Amino acid sequence: MTATDGGEFHSLARTSDVAPGKNKAFQLNGHDILVCNINGEFYAVRNMCSHAEEKLEGGRIRGHCVVCPKHGARFDLKDGRHLTPPAWTGIATYPLRVVDDRIEVQLNPQDPPAPKRVASIGM
């Protein structure tokens, strides 16, 4: 293991557990992890919207985004950044790899990119 490693990978699910275009939540060592399948590409994010802390499970997959089922905020599954209000911050992502038919994740979530500051407009 190197200093840049996020730790060991843990088996979370089988690839067949999450159908293409769908997502499913899994619990592992106290982590609530949402796995999303985009045409065979798998992503793992924290199963908690940053807006009002509602579960993201069951949210629609649109492109590389998951849409919060409660109020519709969109999050990029690649890095967790928020793309639309009402969320103003992103969600954590988990490093994921597929080994044979197993989905494995590191339990060292990555923070999303910091929100961009919007300059105030003087009048």
Q: Which residues of the chain form contacts with ligand FES (CB under 6 A)? A: 49, 51-52, 54, 68, 70-73, 86-87
Contact in structure between 43 and 33 (CB atoms under 8 Å): no
Nearest-approach distance from CB 101 to ligand FES, in angstroms: 31
Residue with smaller CB distance to ligand FES, 9 or 74: 74
Residue with smaller CB distance to ligand FES, 91 or 103: 91
Is 121 buried (19+), middle (13-18) or exposed (0-12) by CB count in 10 A?
exposed
Residue with smaller CB distance to ligand FES, 52 or 98: 52
Nearest-approach distance from CB 105 to ligand FES, in angstroms: 22
Q: Name the residue among 18, 83, 98 with its Cα closest to residue 49.
A: 83
Nearest-approach distance from CB 75 to ligand FES, in angstroms: 9
Nearest-approach distance from CB 47 to ligand FES, in angstroms: 11
Contact in structure between 48 and 82 (CB atoms under 8 Å): no
* CA–CA gap between residue 72 and residue 6 (Å, rounded): 31
Residue with smaller CB distance to ligand FES, 49 or 103: 49
* CA–CA gap between residue 51 and residue 38 (Å, rounded): 24
